[in-house]
Amino acid sequence: MVQTVLVVAAHSDDEALGCAGTIARHTQNGDKVHLVFLTDGVGARRASDEGARARKAASQKAADLLGATSMTQFSLPDNMIDSVPLIEVVKLIESSTENLAPNIVYTHHGGDLNIDHRLCQQAVLTAFRPFPDQTVHSIYGFEVASSTEWAFTTPNPFLPSHYVDITKTLQTKLQVLKAYEEEMRPFPHVRSEEAVVALARWRGASVGCAAAEAFTPIRTIRR
């Protein structure tokens, strides 16, 4: 059965770090995947039109590599989504997805260090409240290197119990990350290629496969 999959991330590159291998599996299986980014991903650091254009081009290249059906990128203030009323963030998500009728949603883990990530998850849960006619049956939270694992004192630690085998799509994930190469760092930084591979290997070994991405199930409904 073909599924409609929605990925809502605060910044473009979060999807690459968090669930690119899983996205690639979905598209290879014939599912339709739609990407929504809430910010341009550069505003807080390089507030320029040129920087935003370069990041959007990288986002589109990544989406093409993943086989995504569509990509929407908003321009909320990077690392300052808390300066925007939550209802406005919710409305952006609702307006960009009202005709998609997604079945599965991937978004951030709610205990991340990054404020944008936490508010993104809150907005997603609000936008997809479980009304009787809601099409979403599963919402999962992904981890983002240099945000999820750095939230040392969070009362909401990342404790995954949903894993996706990405043994066959790990190389696609690495190709997608190359589209965002200016966000990557040399090892031993957690945003290095070596660390990304090590995490995938560890998540995989935790459940008996060669590579995996891990998620926290936020809401699942069996109908």
Distances in whole angstroms, Cα of residue 210 to Cα of each of 36, 58, 196: 29, 28, 14
**Report field, pTM of the whole predicted structure over 0.75:** yes
What is the percent of the chain where pLDDT is above 70?
97
Residue 179 three-state SS: helix
Residue 1 three-state SS: coil
Reported confidence tier of residue 57, pLDDT bands at 50, 70, 90? very high
Please say if the pLDDT value at position 46 is more than 80: no
Please say if the pLDDT value at position 144 is more than 90: yes
Please say if the pLDDT value at position 55 is more than 60: yes
What is the percent of the chain where pLDDT is above 90?
88
Q: Which of 170, 26, 163 is nearest to 104 (CA)?
A: 26
> What's the whole-number mean pLDDT along residues 10-15?
97
Q: What are 121's two structure tokens? A: 């998850």
Beta-strand (E) ranges in 15-97?
32-39, 70-76
106 in Cβ contact with 217 (< 8 Å): no
The residues, any chain, with a CB within 8 Å of residue 58's CB and separated by 6 or more, are 12, 13, 179, 180, 182
pLDDT in tens, 116-125: 999 999 999 9
The residue ranges of every structural domain in the chain are 4-220
42 in Cβ contact with 51 (< 8 Å): yes
pLDDT: which is higher, 58 or 41: 58
The CATH T-level fold of domain 4-220 is Rossmann fold (3.40.50)
Please say if the pLDDT value at position 131 is more than 80: yes
Reported confidence tier of residue 52, pLDDT bands at 50, 70, 90? confident
Residue 56 three-state SS: helix
Please say if the pLDDT value at position 16 is more than 70: yes
pLDDT in tens, 75-113: 999 999 999 999 999 999 999 999 999 999 999 999 999
pLDDT in tens, 189-220: 999 999 999 999 999 999 999 999 999 999 99
Q: What are 154's two structure tokens? A: 């969070």
Please tell me the predicted confidence (pLDDT) of residue 41.
72
CA angle in degrees (0–180, nearest 5) for 197-202-205: 125
120 in Cβ contact with 107 (< 8 Å): yes
Pairing of β 138-142 and β 104-108: parallel
DSSP character string of 117-140: HHHHHHHHHHHT---TT----EEE
Please say if the pLDDT value at position 45 is more than 70: no
